[in-house]
Amino acid sequence: MGNLCSLFTPPKPVKKRKPITKRQSSIGVSSSGSGLNSNRWNNRVRSSSSRRDNKFEDAVIQEHALAAAAVLFRQQNGGGSLPFDRSASQRYQGSCSKKNQLPRSSSSRSRSSTDPLLQPHQFLNQGVKVDDLETNHFVLIHGGGFGAWCWYKTIALLEEDGFKVTAIDLAGCGINSININGIASLSQYVKPLTDILEKLPIGEKVILVGHDFGGACISYAMEMFPSKISKAVFLAAAMLTNGQSTLDMFSLKAGQNDLMRKAQIFIYTNGNENPPTAIDLDKSLLRDLLFNQSPSKDIALASVSMRSIPFAPVLEKLSLSDANYGSVRRYYIETLEDNAIPMTVQENMINSSPPEKVYRLKGADHAPFFSKPQALHKLLLEIARISST
């Protein structure tokens, strides 16, 4: 079943913070007999700033913990798999009338009298209203091993701009309880996505965003429900051609990505004489492979949340037609510091099946929702604003 022991690396020792010794404040006297000691004053300012940063980080950690607890509560009390359409961000209170509400800000600055008395969703850049767009509904599809949890920053940013956001746990991922080793087809793996699209009211459309292996998943959905998809965004994703599998795409980089080969751990639930049932990634190599530009807190979240990748869907060749898949407008977002899907592979997929437009995220690793959330958010807004005419 592969060397699963390598997934569990010993925990790093926790560094104890040195206690802060209170000192009696004093004013230094210069050689002329008056004036402040600038070095001591600067040290006091830096110390105060450090304490504020620590308090802010503690507040963020507590907020994420509360969000995780809410998800677990839903899972334990509701059962089954639910779309992850919530975020850890604060919401507008329904008790207030819309005209009196102020826009939320991710800044810690005080509210200014010059701030606009409008909801964020009442205006976008260049004066485009959310309600005037073809659709204001994003559906986010995670990559292999990830779950809906990886989109928490993107969910918060889009919701604050007035968009509806649905982040889905595919079969066997996130809090979905299906056994990953029992998934035998791509259709079974993407069923949580196709269920949502199937239930959309007639005339309603969504913008699909697929990351990594999620690119193959949204391609499958584009072929099945082209009339329900306004646009498709491939984010460092597998953008395949007709008759191609995700494994075919991976094989293109096999010779140049030794790190990916080292990280892969194949699981043989049905015995070594049969094909693998799933793929794990060595946790000790996650930072270098997927998160080389991401914050440490997000890497820690991923290391305890990522699950195995089902192998059968990776092998499946897609059947894509011009009439269905080809009728949906496609956009590709390249991640320039990506060690999992290198730029050469991304460019090869783009050249093989050119999308309507290609965007580049400078400084983004394979997880741009962690490493470049604000820049990603701006690109998604730009794509949403593109007219259908």
**Which residues are known catalytic residues?**
212, 338, 366
User: Listing from the earlier edge strand, what are the strands of the sheet with 278-281?
Assistant: 264-267, 278-281, 309-310
**Cα 312 from chain centroid (whole Å):** 24
How many C-beta neighbours within 10 Å does residue 385 have?
Answer: 15
**Secondary structure (DSSP) of 13-77:** PPPPPPPPPP--------TTS-S--HHHHHHHHHHHHHHHHHHHHHHHHHHHHHHHHHHHHHHHH
Q: Cα separation of 106 and 160, whole Å?
A: 9
**Secondary structure (DSSP) of 266-331:** EE-TT-TTS--SEEEE-GGGHHHHT-TTS-HHHHHHHHHH---EEHHHHHPBP---TTTGGGSEEE
Q: Cα separation of 83 and 194, whole Å?
A: 12
AA letter at 3: N
Q: Which residues contact 7 (CB under 8 A, 6 or more apart)?
A: 265, 280, 282, 283
User: Listing from the earlier edge strand, what are the strands of the sheet with 164-168?
Assistant: 164-168, 137-141, 206-211, 229-235, 329-335, 357-361
Q: Cα separation of 173 and 307, whole Å?
A: 6
Cβ atoms of residues 183 and 279 within 8 Å: no
Both tokens assigned to 71: 């998800």
